[in-house]
Amino acid sequence: MQKKLAVLFFLVLLAFAGLSVRLALINRDNGEQYKKQVLSQQQYDSITIPFKRGDIIDCKGTKLAVSEKVYNIVLDAKQLTAKAEYLDPTMKALHSCFRLDEAPIRAFLKENPTSQYNVLKKQLTYDEISPFVELQNDPEQGELLKGIWFEEEYRRTYPNGNLASDAIGFTGKDNIGTYGMEEFYNDTLNGINGRQYGYLNDDSTLERTTKAAIDGNTIVSTIDANIQSIVEKYLKKFNEEHKNAARDGNGAVNTACIMMRVNTGEILAMANYPNYDLNDTKNPHPLIGSILLDKDGKPTEEIITEETLKTIDDETLYANLNALWKNYCISNSYEPGSVAKPFTVAAGLESGRLTGNETYFCNGSLWYGGHEIHCHNRLGDGLLTVKQAVEKSCNVALMQMGDAIGKNIFLQFQNAFNFGLKTNIDLAGETRNDSLVYNAQTMGEAELATSTFGQGFNATMIQMICGFCSLINGGNYYEPHIVSKIVSPDGVTVRNIEPRILKQTISPSTSDKIIDYCNGVVIEGTGKTARPAGYAIGGKTGTAEMVPRNKRNYLVSFMGYAPADHPEIAIYVIVDRPNTPLQDDAKFATGIVRNILTEVLPYMNYFMTEELSEKEESELEETGIYDSILHKAEEAAQAEGEDGSSKGKRQEGAGNGDDKESVEVIKPGEGGQELSEEEKKLKEMELSLIDKIKGYAVDPETGYLVEPGTGVLIDPDTGAAVDGASFENE
């Protein structure tokens, strides 16, 4: 038995000896080959080097959107647990520098000892990680701090918070832009990630190579941050003054403004209220005071409150946030109202169907297609010239102009002014509303009549102001743009975005007449309260009755320009359903325009050309810009004394007044002139209209007259419908 065991032991020993010899021979002859094969099967970490997304800056270099480098704390469990002496010092350092709880980290190490990538904390600044980095670099303490490294990435930040939020947009994960310039110029702003990776060279040595990241380009916006902040200040001021006034909620459903260079298409400011903080886009508090939308985005009867936000489900909340993020100025359409009247007049003049010498008589209403369509002035505006019809915003006169123009020519110019078509502004989210304008098949007699004064078809703010600029700049329709230049990370200009004329809408001579008519709106007509102290401007008021007509909801607006004699800056303000008992008053819009231009025009070095009343001087002193304005006015006077010119033109007769589209009735033969037989008949018709309302009942609450049958309130002094209704029997 012992002999057998000895033989077996000898055989096993012999086998091991043979195996050892064989391994030695393999290592000698093929060792390098097998070494490379083993090493090639090992993992060599590849590190992504993130690119820096390009900045967005305003026209004067103010940063609107930037990317700052941040760091993620990454745990390499395998390295940390390689030696027991690493664990406690590293845990202590993590807690002292970052206030990280040790318990969950230790639990993770126990469950995942071979893990090499686990993010403990995200997006820390260098100042926040520097205490730990100093410990790592310490010759003594650093030897025991293992398994922690910092992954670099970039975080998009917006230094000015809410400023120009609708125009800028924001980014989500993976540098994907959402809305505004961030989305439209996403590919331009983004770069290409770099990479650092390891490989084996011919000597089986592990080497690392780095492919640097390519940073994104910077875009230079046409927006002026100072003008933008002035615009937003007065939109917010309007909300604060009118919120919860006649109903719960914001000062208006929407309040918005666009400022634009007339002769280039450059956007100087674009804003609407409410807006949101670009650094905290999912914060729901800006929604408070807005109309609650259901999960499908349809409006309800409820106003969002603090309590609503506590109970709202995620799907409905996102629908409301999505509506907040949209840019009202390019995404929402509406019936523009009387700001469309200059377009109708321009179509008539340019086509030759009007000469500008016509006169019209307004008796308060006309019948079209079985509908009695009223002027805002139920008494009628009497005998009017074309210019006076624009100044007084007379619906009846415009409908008669529509008869002369005809459906086909009217639609031809609607297309020329780009109604129903995209302007192709360089912002994400512009809507196309071709289905909301009439065509030859859908426009009848009544549709043509109401379209002449801006009811029945829809437009967007950007469509309206672009078309209006062509009316006042000689007929050049510029493609609107909000970016003027693209710059490389090295500061080299990659592309200049030059002004681009798309078409000629009207002739310079027609444009001159439109400017004259719109100047009259501010001097003699419905736009008096839009004029900023010391300046001459032109423009047109608008009061659009919203569908359904019987709700007495209105969108009021003012589209204007400065200076009056040679327009360079255009401004368009809309107030959608102002929070007041009677909404149909253009003063809500003209007041905002006046406030904005009072600050913007001096800032842009436009000098005062009009005398200041004591009241205006007092108002300017309250704004805190009086000294600056006077200084610029003195400079203008000196310049005019030297070369006989100034940047503005005297605008006689402009002053404070009522912007409601109801003004003093023009009487035939007024001014001592002898009345013709035709004028005598018109005079008799007008007097009969005045006699007509004498028998109307008086509303005890408001003091206005009540029109029998309709219940419409009538101003006894002007004959204007207080609620602005233009339709009856609809």
Domains of the chain, each with CATH number or no CATH:
47-221 (3.90.1310.10), 333-606+648-728 (3.40.710.10), 607-647 (no CATH)
CA 543 to the chain's CA centroid: 22
Integer Cα distance of 136 and 134 in angstroms: 5
Instruction: Please give the mean pLDDT across all residues of the chain.
Output: 86
Contact 303, 291 (CB under 8 A): yes
In this predicted structure, what is the pLDDT of residue 683? 54
What share of the chain has pLDDT > 70, as a percent? Answer: 81
In this predicted structure, what is the pLDDT of residue 619? 79
Tell me: the pLDDT tens digits for 548-587? 887 889 999 999 999 999 999 999 999 999 999 999 899 9
CA dihedral 675→677→682→684, nearest 10 degrees, is: 90
Q: Say if residue 532 is preceded by a cis peptide, omega within 30 of 0.
A: no
Integer Cα distance of 505 and 180 in angstroms: 28
Contact 527, 590 (CB under 8 A): yes
In this predicted structure, what is the pLDDT of residue 83? 87
Report residue 379's pLDDT band, with 50, 70 and 90 as the boundaries.
Answer: confident
In this predicted structure, what is the pLDDT of residue 30? 65
Report residue 680's pLDDT band, with 50, 70 and 90 as the boundaries.
Answer: low
Report residue 28's pLDDT band, with 50, 70 and 90 as the boundaries.
Answer: low
In this predicted structure, what is the pLDDT of residue 685? 54
Angle at 310 between CA 304 and CA 316, to 5 degrees: 60
CA 358 to the chain's CA centroid: 41
In this predicted structure, what is the pLDDT of residue 626? 64
> Which secondary-structure segment (H or E) carries 559?
strand 554-562
Tell me the mean pLDDT in the region 4-31: 72
Q: By mean pLDDT, which of 4-8, 485-489, 682-686 is the weakest?
A: 682-686
Integer Cα distance of 597 and 592 in angstroms: 9
pLDDT of 183 above 50: yes
454: left (phi over 0), alpha (psi -120 to 50) or beta: left
In this predicted structure, what is the pLDDT of residue 667? 36
pLDDT of 477 above 70: yes
Tell me the mean pLDDT in the region 521-528: 94
Report residue 20's pLDDT band, with 50, 70 and 90 as the boundaries.
Answer: confident
Report residue 377's pLDDT band, with 50, 70 and 90 as the boundaries.
Answer: confident
In this predicted structure, what is the pLDDT of residue 715? 66
Integer Cα distance of 661 and 590 in angstroms: 12
What share of the chain has pLDDT > 90, as a percent? Answer: 65
Tell me: the pLDDT tens digits for 289-336? 999 999 999 999 999 999 999 999 999 999 999 999 999 999 999 999
Report residue 33's pLDDT band, with 50, 70 and 90 as the boundaries.
Answer: low
Tell me the β-bridge partners of 571.
Answer: 259, 560
The pTM assigned to this predicted structure is 0.83
Q: Which is more confident, 200 or 256?
A: 256
pLDDT of 725 above 90: no
Contact 52, 213 (CB under 8 A): yes
Q: Say if residue 489 is preceded by a cis peptide, omega within 30 of 0.
A: no
Tell me: the pLDDT tens digits for 652-664? 333 333 444 433 3
Number of continuous H segments (helices) and E segments (strands) in the chain: 23, 31
Tell me: the pLDDT tens digits for 194-206? 988 766 555 556 5
Report residue 35's pLDDT band, with 50, 70 and 90 as the boundaries.
Answer: low
Tell me the mean pLDDT in the region 141-147: 86
One DSSP character per residue, 324-391 reads HHS-HHHH-EE--GGGGHHHHHHHHHHHTS--S--EEEE-SEEEETTEEEE-SBTT--EEEEHHHHHH
Pairing of strands 56-57, 218-221: parallel
Question: What contacts 671, CB < 8 A, 6 or more positions away?
Answer: none
